[in-house]
Amino acid sequence: MSPIKNKVLLTLILVVMLAASACGAKTPTAEPTVQPQPTAVATEAPVVQPTAEPTVEPTKGPIVITDVIGRVVTLEKPANKLVGTHNPTLNAAIVLGGGGKYLAGFGNKAMSRGLYELVVEGYNDLPEIGKGSNVNMESVVATGADLVILPKRHQDLVPQFEAVNIPTLVILDNVENFDTVKQTLKILGQALGENERAEKISTFIDSQVENAATLLKDTTNKPSVLFLGSSSKLSVATHSMIQSSLIEDAGGTNAVSGVDVVGKFADVSIEQIIAWNPEVIWVPNYAEYTIESLLTDPAWSSISAIQNKRVYQFPSLLEPWDYPTAAVVLGLDWALNNLHPDLYSRETLLDNVNDFYMMVYGKTITPEQLGIE
């Protein structure tokens, strides 16, 4: 082979070797393009890690509550199963639970069947643990209750429940008014961990009381009203009872005077009622006698309310609106419409009734269900 061909061949070999060498040199430079993937994973980890920490709630301490008779009761955690025998007191638990969420045992179920059958799931299966101050302690223990709630009038039962190691709160005072109802909700709200709900319902009560006061601020006509008890035509609501607050906050005057009975209806004579001569008489829906029996009784014939037929059934069919419970604010609205229909219409009454039952139970209740004409 000639020297010239040898040089050409050598040159070609060198070119090929350089090209191969160049291709080999690119291989290490390609690796860094793969490296960012591990780096990206490393940068995400610190972002995910802290966000998981807030889901762990700090440990809450004991709940310390002072009840209406000054007892200090400590609960290690919010109660979730309670019992009681006094229906107005138990109502606070039903209102705060929006139904039967916290109920383990009941008092006299027959007195409250109307509303509770609608809002308390399994109401018919709830055990009756006693009525009033008559308590079956074996039934109480069998419910597994972790709280007992009582009215002040039954405070003598506290030692019995403490003897079986069930925390007991006295939450309903003997002197009944709208503040009493809010106090009951507040105390039980603390025990159940339902503080916000208790405050929301109390705010609704305040709004209705304030609205009535605003509407009545220039009113001088305040009819005298006699609110009768359920068991006898001769029992009357005294000034310590929620019925008196209903009368006065609705723009009336309680006809009863000179009676010092506290926390319950007082028995009086027909002569005393004649002397009071009420202009309006309200009869509770749960009364054991009828309005007709009043209107046709000769002994009552000289009374103004009888002569003018201003005798009315106080609602409602589903639950009493004259009990010291949250629904008493609807009794105020009804009373305002009854005494001063020119200031407060039936339509507004029904709107507020609907707002209340939707807020508390998420249900619309009809006038027919309530027995409002």
What's 73's domain CATH number? Answer: 3.40.50.1980
The pLDDT of residue 162 is 93
* Domain shared by 215 and 352, yes or no: yes
- Indicate if the pLDDT at residue 58 is higher than 50: no
HSE value, Cβ hemisphere, 13 Å, CA-based, for 226: 31
Please give the DSSP secondary-structure letter assigned to residue 55. G
Q: Tell me how far apart the alpha carbons of residues 12 and 17 are, in angstroms, rounded to a whole number.
A: 9
Distant-in-sequence, close-in-space partners of 364: CB < 8 Å, separation ≥ 6 = 354, 357, 358
Residue ranges making up the domain that contains 347 = 206-370
Q: Tell me how far apart the alpha carbons of residues 87 and 89 are, in angstroms, rounded to a whole number.
A: 5
HSE value, Cβ hemisphere, 13 Å, CA-based, for 31: 4
Model confidence pLDDT, tens digit, residues 262-291: 878 999 999 999 999 999 999 999 999 999
Lowest-confidence pick of 31-45, 159-173, 181-195 = 31-45
* Domain shared by 236 and 343, yes or no: yes
* Domain shared by 164 and 210, yes or no: no
* Domain shared by 226 and 362, yes or no: yes
* Domain shared by 125 and 232, yes or no: no
The answer as to whether 309 is a domain residue is: yes
**Total structural domains within the chain:** 2
pTM of the model: 0.82
User: SS3 sequence, 235-263?
Assistant: EECCCCCHHHHHHHHCCCEECCCCCCCCC
Which residue in the block uniquely carries the two structure tokens 């105390």?
A: 187
- Indicate if the pLDDT at residue 9 is higher than 70: no
Q: Tell me how far apart the alpha carbons of residues 161 and 170 are, in angstroms, rounded to a whole number.
A: 12
Residue finishing a domain among 149, 172, 195: 172
**Which residue type, as a one-letter code, is found at position 255?**
A
Model confidence pLDDT, tens digit, residues 26-57: 444 444 444 444 444 444 444 444 444 444 34
Which residue in the block uniquely carries the two structure tokens 């019925």?
A: 243
Please give the DSSP secondary-structure letter assigned to residue 147. E
Distant-in-sequence, close-in-space partners of 338: CB < 8 Å, separation ≥ 6 = 250, 280, 282, 312
